[in-house]
Amino acid sequence: MTNRKKTKSKIQLYQKNLGERSNWLRAAVLGSNDGIISIAGLVIGVAGATQSKTAVLTAGLAGIVAGALSMAAGEYVSVSTQRDTENALLAKERQDLVDHPQEELDDLVSAYEADGLEPKIAKIVAVELTKVNAFATHADVDLHIDPKNLTNPWSSVFASAGSFVAGALIPLVVIMLPVEAYTVPVTFVAVIVALTITGFLSSKISGANIYKSTLRVVAGGAIAMIVTYVIGNIFKVIGA
């Protein structure tokens, strides 16, 4: 293998690993963020309706199980759909190579010309790569897909479900602390701090504005906790 081919293989491997890492990080950050907000809203709502720690713990644990399973199922369906789309595109590309080989070769030449190669060089490269592995070459150039390394839904599933549980444990553990009358305020502050961290990480991964992205996450969590606490107090008054 020439140095050029080795370098290209290393770049492709790095790009693939980077893509998988990004999917994993995205699922982990979003999962933890959802876990914090969902369970914080749930346990604070229950705490607004009752002083029973048992009721709060039961509701929190039930919410964690349901939420983690929901996140896992949703992530699996989403990433599996992406994988199915990749398979469909690859199947079409494979059939096009059988039905229209010359047209596909011409398209490959045009793609290399668009990348800056001279027409003669572009044709030589296209012909040689087609001889080596026409399908893999077209999948890479036309679809930017490596047929041997399709999107794996399971890494995102475990990252999403696991991070949901990790995030959800923050408000549940804090609200169970023996701080009596300060239970709700302490939980509120802890959740805001946690959401600030996940909001910051989310913005760094997505490349979004850090201030605006973090503010949205924190504001959303704060509103959720306030609303559920008010609703819990309403039911407490009605029950009394």
9 — pLDDT class (breaks 50, 70, 90): very low
176: exposed, middle or buried (Cβ count in 10 Å: 0-12, 13-18, 19+): middle
| Domain assignment of residue 6, yes or no | no
Q: Which two tokens stand for residue 20?
A: 């998988």
The distance in angstroms from the start CA to the end CA of the chain is 79
| Domain assignment of residue 15, yes or no | no
> 180: phi > 0 → left, psi -120 to 50 → alpha, else beta; which?
left
* Count of domains forming the chain: 1
pTM of the predicted protein model: 0.71
| Domain assignment of residue 89, yes or no | yes
| Domain assignment of residue 7, yes or no | no
159 — pLDDT class (breaks 50, 70, 90): confident
List, for residues 91-139, the tens digit of each pLDDT value: 999 899 999 989 989 888 998 888 888 989 988 998 998 898 988 888 8
Q: What is the DSSP string of 144-191?
A: ---TTS---HHHHHHHHHHHHHHHHHHHHHHHTSS-GGGHHHHHHHHH
Domain span at residue 229 reads: 25-239
Confidence at residue 240, expressed as pLDDT on a 0 to 100 scale = 53
| Domain assignment of residue 97, yes or no | yes
53 — pLDDT class (breaks 50, 70, 90): very high
| Domain assignment of residue 172, yes or no | yes
| Domain assignment of residue 136, yes or no | yes
Higher pLDDT, 135 or 152: 135
| Domain assignment of residue 226, yes or no | yes
List, for residues 29-41, the tens digit of each pLDDT value: 788 889 999 999 9
